[in-house]
Structure 1
Amino acid sequence: MTASIQHRASRRQDSAAYTREAILAAASELFSSRGYTATTVNEVAAKARVAVATVYTSVGGKPTLLRALIERGVNEPRTTETLTAVASADDPREVIRLTAAGTRYSNEASREMVALMLSTANTVPEIAEAMREAVTAYRQALGAVAGRLDDLSALRGGLGVERATDMLWYFFGLHSWRQLVEDNGWSYEDAQSWLAECAGAALLTPEHAATKPPR
């Protein structure tokens, strides 16, 4: 392949990626402002300034659009960064603090998409499957946190990694953030601080729970 052909191929790939992002951005805005049911593919195309056929060929129909948005949230780079920091942290309280900060960021950044996912999962099979996959990935990440706490011998007596993962999901899962912020009107900052404090007290041995985390 000559340099000229490679350049043209690269430009086509860049253009396709740009078009896909424009479509997803339009879908995200419309789903959030008008609701999933009320939004049409025609409206997504108009907002993204592309042909309707381009929406289908670049991403797909409405369920695929929402699924792509959910998957983008699941694969957010901040999750990997948080898990990397957790894996190298030697203080159990810092592990809890990092988990609180990382899950807060993910839930706050994906606030509208999480609401859409939860509201459509019962009626759209494709979204129900995407939600199951998202929850599985979320719990796997929290399982890595529980594993790190276990490696540090910081889990309260009798707690294994599986039970600790369940408890981390209770404190830092999707519904915990939504109940505190959406239902009770807390700020994300207040929710983060309280959840970290409660998780530390519930999961860590007394001597570890009493240690102040580094900042």
Structure 2
Amino acid sequence: MTTRTYRSTRRDEAASITRAVILDTALERFTAQGYSATTIADIATHADVAVNTIYASIGGKAQLVLALIERARTDPSITSTLDGVGRTDTGRAALERLAHGVRTSSEHSQRVIAVMQDAAASEPSVADAVHRTELGYRANLDSTVGHLRSLPDFRDELDTRAVQDALWFYFGFSPWRTLIALGWDWDRTEHWLALQAWREIYRVPQD
């Protein structure tokens, strides 16, 4: 009985490692040559696995992208960021903490974001997953609004929807992608977006 359990554990570990290798390789190939131009055979060659192994463990190209999205979505830094924002006692500190967490997640996941948007153009299942991912991400941002409203110097004329929109405008997918594409580095992008959001949501002393 113990031997069978041990062997089962070893098989599970090997399968997990193989899955990770396949996903890492798929991400590299999709990034290097685009979703449409990449084939399962190409991924299998670079991952040093059989084509049937990819289909059996994950599925086709669309399923590979969906698995990459799910892996990024469960990044533990998201929960850590939200917890950190909730422990701040000033608006500026809260938005700087939020900006840093979003930057860390975005920097880590930028290739996945680019691949999922590329694949969404031709794969309805991926397009649906992208939409659900955006909704989930926006819900995470929205969850900080109550705390932001409770901090000193909050602009009372802003209703909840206005704050939600401001958070999406500064910390959604688009601003990071746009500024990085313009040649900004991650540090500059992080600090600028945090500053602009602070000025939008709180009464900021005039210079």
Deviation at 1:67, TM superposition (A): 1.2
| 5+ long unaligned stretches in structure 2 | none
**Structure 1 contact 95–145 (Cα < 8 Å) conserved:** no
Deviation at 1:154, TM superposition (A): 5.0
Q: Distance in 1 between matches of 2:144 and 2:10?
A: 41
Deviation at 1:115, TM superposition (A): 1.5
| Amino acid of the structure 1 residue aligned with 2:188 | D
CA offsets 1:151-201 (integer angstroms, 9 cap, x no match): 33653122233321111010011011111111x211111111111100000
Q: TM-score, normalised by structure 2?
A: 0.94
Q: 2:200 aligns with which of 182, 199, 202?
A: 202
1:80-159, aligned counterparts within 5 Å? 80-152=79-151, 155-159=154-158
| Amino acid of the structure 1 residue aligned with 2:47 | A
**Structure 1 contact 150–160 (Cα < 8 Å) conserved:** no
Q: Distance in 2 between matches of 1:201 and 1:39?
A: 44
Q: Distance in 1 between matches of 2:152 and 2:129?
A: 35
**Structure 1 contact 146–164 (Cα < 8 Å) conserved:** yes
Deviation at 1:141, TM superposition (A): 1.1
CA offsets 1:17-68 (integer angstroms, 9 cap, x no match): 1111010011011001111111100111111111111101111100110111
Q: CA RMSD in A?
A: 1.4
Q: Which residue of 2 aligns with 1:51?
A: 50
Q: Is 2:184 the partner of 1:186?
A: yes
Aligned residues: 205
- The percent of aligned pairs where both chains have the same amino acid is 36
| 5+ long unaligned stretches in structure 1 | 211-215
Q: Distance in 1 between matches of 2:152 and 2:142?
A: 15
Q: Distance in 2 between matches of 1:128 and 1:59?
A: 18
| Amino acid of the structure 2 residue aligned with 1:141 | N
**Structure 1 contact 99–145 (Cα < 8 Å) conserved:** no
Q: TM-score, normalised by structure 1?
A: 0.90
Q: Which residue of 1 aligns with 2:61?
A: 62
